[in-house]
Amino acid sequence: MSFSELGLSEAIVRAVTEHGYTTPTPIQTQAIPAVLAGGDLLAGAQTGTGKTAGFTLPVLHRLSTSATNPTGSQRPIRALVLTPTRELAAQVEESVRLYGKYLKLTSAVIFGGVGINPQIKLLKHGVDILVCTPGRLLDHMQQGTVNLNHVEILILDEADRMLDMGFIRDIKKILAVLPKKRQNLLFSATFSDEIKILADNLLNSPAMIEVARRNSTVEVIQQKIHPVDRDRKHPLLAHLIKAHQWSQVLVFTRTKHGANKLVEQLEKDGISGMAIHGNKSQSARTRALAEFKDGSLQVLVATDIAARGIDIDQLPHVVNYDLPNVPEDYVHRIGRTGRAGATGEAVSLVCVDEHQMLKDIEKLIKRELPKEVIAGFEPDPNARAQPIQLRSGGGGGQRAGGGGGRGRSPGGAPGGAKPAQGPSRGHGGGNGSQARPAAPRRSGGRGR
Q: How many CB atoms lie within 10 A of CB 268?
A: 9
Instruction: Please write the tens of the pLDDT for every residue from 402-423.
Output: 333 333 333 333 334 333 333 3
Average pLDDT over residues 62-80: 78
- pLDDT tens readout for residues 282-320: 778 788 888 888 888 899 998 876 555 566 666 788 999
Q: Where in the chain is the domain with CATH 3.40.50.300?
A: 4-210, 221-365
- Least confident span in 39-48, 52-61, 199-208, 412-421: 412-421
Say whether pLDDT at 436 is over 50. no
Most confident of 175-179, 333-337, 384-388: 175-179
Written as one letter, the residue type at 297 is L
Name the CATH superfamily for 221-365. P-loop containing nucleotide triphosphate hydrolases (3.40.50.300)
Give residues with Cβ within 8 angstroms of 293, minimum separation 6: 312
Residues 6 or more apart in contact with residue 298 via CB below 8 angstroms: 241, 246, 247, 248, 249, 271, 272, 273
- Residue 396 is predicted with a pLDDT of 35
Asked if pLDDT for residue 190 goes beyond 80, the answer is: no
Rounded to the nearest angstrom, the gap between the alpha carbon of residue 35 and the centroid of all alpha carbons in its chain is: 22
In this predicted structure, what is the pLDDT of residue 364?
Answer: 87
Query: Is residue 47 scored above 70 in pLDDT?
Result: no
Most confident of 131-145, 184-198, 219-233, 379-393: 131-145
pLDDT beyond 70 at 279: yes
Which whole number is the average pLDDT over 413-435?
Answer: 34
- Assess whether pLDDT exceeds 70 at residue 211: yes
The residue ranking higher by pLDDT, 408 or 199, is 199
Query: What's the confidence (pLDDT) of residue 304?
Result: 74
As a whole number of Å, the CA-based R_g of the chain is 21
Q: Do the bridges between strand 153-156 and strand 79-82 make them parallel or antiparallel, or are there none, so unpaired?
A: parallel
153 three-state secondary structure = strand
Spatial distance between the Cα atoms of 402 and 389, rounded to a whole number of angstroms: 12
233 pLDDT exceeds 90? yes
Q: How confident is the model at residue 330 (pLDDT cuts 50, 70, 90)?
A: confident
pTM (2 decimals)? 0.61
Check residue 327 and give left, alpha or beta (phi > 0: left; psi -120 to 50: alpha). alpha
Q: How far is CA 120 from CA 59, 106, 127, 141, 291, in A?
A: 24, 16, 12, 11, 30
Considering the chain, what is the average pLDDT of its residues? 80
- Answer with the residue of higher pLDDT: 367 or 409: 367
The answer for 72, left when phi > 0, alpha when psi is -120 to 50, beta otherwise, is: left
Lowest-pLDDT choice from 20-24, 137-141, 222-226: 20-24
- Where is mean pLDDT largest: 310-324, 385-399, 423-437? 310-324
Q: How far apart are CA 254 and CA 268, in angstroms?
A: 21
Cα–Cα dist 185/52, whole Å: 12
Q: Which amino acid is at 230?
A: R
Angle at 186 between CA 409 and CA 172, to 5 degrees: 70
pLDDT in the model for residue 402: 31
Query: What confidence score (pLDDT) does residue 424 get?
Result: 35
Q: In this structure, which amino acid lies at residue 182?
A: R
CATH homologous superfamily of domain 4-210?
Answer: P-loop containing nucleotide triphosphate hydrolases (3.40.50.300)
Question: pLDDT class for 270, splitting at 50, 70, 90?
Answer: very high
Q: For residues 170 and 139, give the distance between their C-alpha atoms in angstroms, rounded to a whole number.
A: 11
| H helix or E strand, kind and range, residue 222 | strand 221-227
Q: So what's the pLDDT on residue 325?
A: 84
Stretch (H or E) spanning 131: strand 129-132
Share of the chain above pLDDT 70, in %: 78
Give dist(CA 84, CA 70) in Å, integer.
29
User: What are residue 188's phi and psi, to 5 degrees?
Assistant: -150, 145
